Structure 1
Amino acid sequence: MFPVGISISLTGKYREQGENALNGLRLWEDYVNSTGGLALGNTAGREAITLRYLDDESKVEQCPKNIERLIRDGIQLLFGPYSSGLTGAAAAAAAAEGKILWNHGGACESAYSAHASSVISVLSPARTYLWNLPDLIAHRKLPVNKLVVLVASQRKFPSEVASGLADSCRRHGLEICQVEISRRKFEPIQLIQTALDQDPGCLVTIGQYDEEIKVFEHRAVFHKIDLAVCVAAGVSAFYRDLSRMAEGIVGPSQWEPGSCLRPDLGPDDGWFCQQYYRHFRKTPDYTAGQAFACGLIMQKCLGAASDPAARALRAAALRLDCQTFYGRFHLDPSGAQSGHQPLLVQWESGRKHVVWPPDREKSPGGNQQRNF
């Protein structure tokens, strides 16, 4: 058996996302073993794999300890955790030992920039999360000239998302204003009123999950908003926590079931969703999809590399241009993910529906899209 390992959150604030990601990798483990095992470089043979996981408890200080322990136990292939902060800590530990970290859950590039040559990412970077929001506004012909963004800019992930959105707004000639979310003195009503005083057509929140939930718990005070956007709206828990108050809100997602993409690597979307439900009795979220896809990419690179050393695996990843059910994988010359593009989804009738890009648009309303 060929061991692969992961440090993942099974307790703490990232527990739900961590469990979903681990389930995605468990399904990938079954897929690899049921299809003949892992091809190891130029050798003719294949080996079954076994997945070993350690709980990082959603703590930055625990993550490198787990990575170091996995490496001491002889595990050469390492998957990263969920969350940019934890991914940065795991990347540092992997790089110190000359290992690659296969990244499915850390979108904030600055979190691991010091160790970028040791990280291979399948997911879209944070700066692209809301890049297409101005395109959606134009596509729907919404009377939006100004966006007001409630953002925790002192934190890396929100800062990168907001920076990408600001660049895109400038490209489209849209005015954008930022209102700072202070963790020390968080007052949702005051933040909302400050935003509404600027008469925006679109209100955007980019903060931590609990902050964004508290803002939209007060959505009854929103007035004259054509579109409300929330980074947290991309996860299924968003509707569970807000119920009908989530209706109409738009958010980014790395992947959604029913993508109908035609993969040239691995199973299609239908197989993944069906098997995931059969194993875990629930519909997969994007966190599960991207973890499974990360396994497929690692598997492909390992088969194409001359050996499992970091340099050979990175060279194989830089050459690779393919599509899984999760979307395209392609790295630019610096090693940043440039092929995969995030989606925009909107909550309608208790479900997420893809609203961007237009060729992936799926809504019970057809072409008559609901606004906020």
Structure 2
Amino acid sequence: MTSLRVGACLSLTGPYARFGVQAAVGLDAWRRLDGGAEVLLEDDGGDRARVPAALRTLAGRCDLLLGPYSTGLTRTAVAVIGESAGLLWNHGGAGDDVQAAAPGHVVSVLTPASRYAEPFLHVLAHRDAPRPLCIVTGVGSFARQVGAGARFRAGELGIEVLEEPHGREWDLLCAGSFEEDVAAVTRARGEERPPRMICAVAAGVREFGDVVAAPEGVHGVAQWFPGRAAAVDLGPTEADLLDACAALTGGTPDYPGVQAAAAAALAVHCARAGGGVDRETLWAVAAALDCATLFGRFRIDPVTGLQTGHDTVLVRWTADGLGR
């Protein structure tokens, strides 16, 4: 197969630029390692109204399509792709409803939002004396789905969930936009009786430590963290991608960059293994996969495309920075 053109709709500007730029770096690093693919980008500006045109532009120029970052933007992208003969590789929309919205048209690599908080809840459940948990969610659908999934799983694990701590010892889970999580954590730590343990989705990226004073002790949820991956079945190794990213930026990427690279690696693998880039061929190969990439395990529901194999990672801030 000749060189493949991979197109990605990303927020290179706008409210999600901190994540879209990381995804762009991850794709550039992956392209350099793959050697047999081109990457074309369209900036959606973090604006849902710009996503359809960006996707259609890419569809006319590319063999494989990667969606945007954020559940909201991805929802728009899925609506567009569901009305076409195309297939979208979803690396940026964790919402359960989004992942399953267009069966046969969307392949997702992310742990769904409803399972996001599971590693933190397992830590809470296995303590000698579990404390009540307060769950604070933002206004978006991603946040609501994380919260709903956490409440359901907490009930299964025997963790009491409260709306307010009412003077009791308590723990806190925050799920919202980056800004919403930062505000919720800051507010909770200023309480007369602050939570004993805090976990925030936003704390899973390094920028959290730039905007929250003394983040030590705060847990985060990440789709990926360095050192997790072992052997890979397809695509670059974690070490190779990290080296390539370091050559581009001088630093280590957060999970938005790695999940985009993994989606691209999976997309080109399916095209090459199937010998074509039509939707039916790509879907058939992807639906049959149960494999490891640098991002972790990949396995989808063969009917809906919902990611079932990948798990999130619990991370924690220390005096040395973000770690596991």
Provide the TM-score with structure 2 as the length reference.
0.93
SS of 2:151's equivalent?
Answer: helix
Please state how far the C-alpha of 1:62 moved relative to its aligned partner: 0.3
State which structure, 1 or 2, has the greater radius of gyration over its C-alpha atoms.
1
Alignment of 1:289-300 (within 5 A): 289-300=258-269
Q: Does the 8 A contact of 1:101 with 1:120 survive in 2? A: yes
Match of 1:102 in 2: 89
Q: Structure 1 residue 61 and structure 2 residue 31: aligned? A: no
Q: Does the 8 A contact of 2:10 with 2:44 survive in 1? A: yes
1:207 to 176, 181, 204: 176
Closer, same or farther: CA 264–3 of 1 in aligned 2, 3 Å: closer
Closer, same or farther: CA 325–341 of 1 in aligned 2, 3 Å: same
The amino acid of 1:171's aligned partner reads E
Q: Does the 8 A contact of 1:143 with 1:201 survive in 2? A: no
Runs (5+) with no aligned partner, structure 2: none
Alpha-carbon distance in 2 for matches of 1:233, 1:161: 15
Match of 2:12 in 1: 10
Please state how far the C-alpha of 1:76 moved relative to its aligned partner: 2.8
1:256 to 206, 225, 237: 225
1:174 to 147, 159, 175: 159
SS of 2:9's equivalent?
Answer: strand
Alpha-carbon distance in 2 for matches of 1:122, 1:94: 17
Q: Aligned residues, how many?
A: 320
Percent identical: 31
2:145 to 160, 164, 173: 160
Alpha-carbon distance in 1 for matches of 2:102, 2:156: 31
Alpha-carbon distance in 2 for matches of 1:32, 1:171: 43
2:323 to 341, 350, 353: 353
Q: Structure 1 residue 150 and structure 2 residue 136: aligned? A: yes
Alpha-carbon distance in 1 for matches of 2:168, 2:75: 38
Please state how far the C-alpha of 1:20 moved relative to its aligned partner: 0.4
Alpha-carbon distance in 2 for matches of 1:224, 1:67: 45
Please state how far the C-alpha of 1:227 moved relative to its aligned partner: 0.9
Match of 2:122 in 1: 135
- 1:101-128 Cα distance to aligned partner (Å, 9 max, x none): 1111110122354324311011111111
Alpha-carbon distance in 1 for matches of 2:26, 2:33: 10
Alpha-carbon distance in 2 for matches of 1:333, 1:96: 20
Q: Does the 8 A contact of 2:124 with 2:130 survive in 1? A: yes
Please state how far the C-alpha of 1:96 moved relative to its aligned partner: 2.2
Alpha-carbon distance in 1 for matches of 2:106, 2:207: 28
1:121 to 85, 105, 108: 108
Q: Does the 8 A contact of 1:249 with 1:347 survive in 2? A: yes
Provide the TM-score with structure 1 as the length reference.
0.82
Please state how far the C-alpha of 1:198 moved relative to its aligned partner: 5.7
Displaced runs of 4+ in structure 1, greater than 6 A?
Answer: none
Q: Does the 8 A contact of 1:206 with 1:230 survive in 2? A: yes
SS of 1:314's equivalent?
Answer: helix
Match of 2:185 in 1: 216
Closer, same or farther: CA 311–164 of 1 in aligned 2, 3 Å: same
Alpha-carbon distance in 1 for matches of 2:282, 2:43: 26
The amino acid of 1:342's aligned partner reads T
Runs (5+) with no aligned partner, structure 1: 38-48, 179-194, 355-372
Alpha-carbon distance in 2 for matches of 1:223, 1:336: 40
Q: Structure 1 residue 333 and structure 2 residue 302: aligned? A: yes
Alpha-carbon distance in 2 for matches of 1:231, 1:222: 24
Alpha-carbon distance in 1 for matches of 2:70, 2:263: 15
CA RMSD across the alignment? 1.8
